[in-house]
Amino acid sequence: MTSSNPLKAAYDHATRYIGGVAQRHVGARTTRVDLLAALGGSLPLGATDPVEVIVHLARTADPGIVATIGPRYFGFVIGGSLPAALAADWLTSAWDQNAGIFACGPAASVVEEVAGAWLVELLGLPQETSVGFTTGCQMAHFTCLGAARHAVLSRFGWDVEERGLFGAPEITVVVGSETHATIPTALQYLGLGRSRSVIVDSDDQGRLRLDRLEAALPSDDSPLIVCLQAGNVNTGAFDPIGPAIELIRARCPRAWVHIDGAFGLWAAADPARRHFLAGHDGADSWATDGHKWLNVPYDCGYAFVRDPAAHSAAMSPQSAAYITYGQAERDEFRWVPEYSRRARGFATYAALRSLGQDGVAAMIDRCCRLAERMADALRSAGDGIEVLNDVVLDQVLVRFTSPGGDAAAGSADAADADDRTRRVVKAVQDDGTCWLGSTVWHGLAAMRISVINWSTTEADIDRSAAAIVAAHRQV
């Protein structure tokens, strides 16, 4: 029987979906055309009963829902949703607080303050670090690099927030050749340009090369931003962060160092893997996602800045006469690009409190061990399956060839291996046991597997590996 309460109807559909997600075909089971036909049409002239709207939406959208919260979704480095975080997110919608200023929602502001301090401690960042809750790592980069732009120009007497970039001293930006696309996009948004950066070569695992970084650093004392990477999106590899920061500080002491740690920064919370980040606390800013390894619902990212004054100066809007600003209180819009926004801190608070430091570390360790298990299962499956990367974190890159074929770039069989790899990926997606994506790594087509969901088990890995091997043998 359908409830007369739309909230109860939504709850029933949501809990039924969550309860069955582990048995569900992981990918979408319909097309854009079919979804448009089912959901579209002209806007009705009259009202529709709210319960009818919810029931229609839940049933009609269902074939187009990808089971990203499920235990066998391994695509795009997308985490699941911890039960406490999801429940807190439901409350967030019910409370509907505008997390822009303290006056609009004191609890939203204080929860961000508390959860932000917990994150700083958990991730081993300097105690004075300020935190902004963003939509994701893209806007976290924008926020951090906005603070960087402010700081490096202010050191040369230029107020970029007041005067803009016209006539400003030129800023040099140095990035690795394997930098994620969100870094040049943030530079684009900030008026620093996507293609003006100095590119530093990387090694065969995607780690920035120190010798090439040393050669790329400017010899003069000019505004400089250097971006390092904690967790390559294909291999999971880390730049040599500590040595790179030492080199930059010795050569360019007024430079700003930013770390892209969209998922890799969470390794700092795991005692078994934090050595990959050794020296990361010497940077000036760090960006990561909550909806990746903390497994909070979309959307949630974090911008961390060592210098709160630079952070606030870069993000704070012009004062408005109709707003009462906090003094000791935290006004959230001083730390992110948005004025009005969702209260993302509640889900983060719930995730952290439900897990504790030990629980976060255990979740990260478990996911990494499961990634190793996946790699081992595929390696041992026989001829024609090659794991391309050193599995140091949660990422596994796989390439498929015909038995006895040569998959190396430039070989006679390379094109065939590229085609076969893409066909295996498609076959796995169509099968629905698990979902994973494809990528191109150093000119080679590859399957990319990301194990980052709190609910994934060894049985899920074994079942998924078997489905991948079966697809390889059938294409």
- Average of pLDDT values for 96-125? 97
Question: What is the pLDDT, as a whole number, of residue 414?
Answer: 87
Q: Do you know the residue count of the chain? A: 475
What's the pLDDT tens digit per position in 291-346?
999 999 999 999 999 999 999 999 998 876 556 666 789 999 999 999 999 999 99
- Average of pLDDT values for 34-48? 97
What's the pLDDT tens digit per position in 258-297?
999 999 999 999 999 999 999 999 999 999 999 999 999 9
Question: What is the pLDDT, as a whole number, of residue 31?
Answer: 97
Question: What is the pLDDT, as a whole number, of residue 179?
Answer: 97
Given the candidates 3.40.640.10, 3.40.50.1820, 3.30.70.360, 3.30.470.20, the CATH classification of the domain at 86-352 is: 3.40.640.10
> What CA dihedral angle connects 448, 452, 453 and 455, to 10 degrees?
100
Asked if pLDDT for residue 111 goes beyond 90, the answer is yes
- Average of pLDDT values for 464-469? 98
In angstroms, the CA 68 to CA 258 distance is 30
Average pLDDT, the chain: 95
Query: What pTM did the predictor assign?
Result: 0.96
In eight-state DSSP terms, residue 201 is -
The Cβ of residue 78 has, within 10 Å, a number of other Cβ atoms equal to 20
What's the pLDDT tens digit per position in 371-402?
999 999 999 998 899 999 999 999 999 999 98
pLDDT category, 1, cuts 50, 70, 90?
very low
Across the strands, what pairs with 258?
227, 285
Residue of higher predicted confidence among 93 and 1: 93
What's the pLDDT tens digit per position in 192-246?
999 999 999 999 999 999 999 999 999 999 999 999 999 999 999 999 999 999 9
Question: What is the pLDDT, as a whole number, of residue 40?
Answer: 96
Intervals of CATH 3.40.640.10 along the chain = 86-352
Intervals of CATH 3.90.1150.10 along the chain = 364-474
In angstroms, the CA 229 to CA 113 distance is 26
Question: What is the pLDDT, as a whole number, of residue 322?
Answer: 55
**Which CATH number applies to 364-474?**
3.90.1150.10
In angstroms, the CA 352 to CA 468 distance is 34
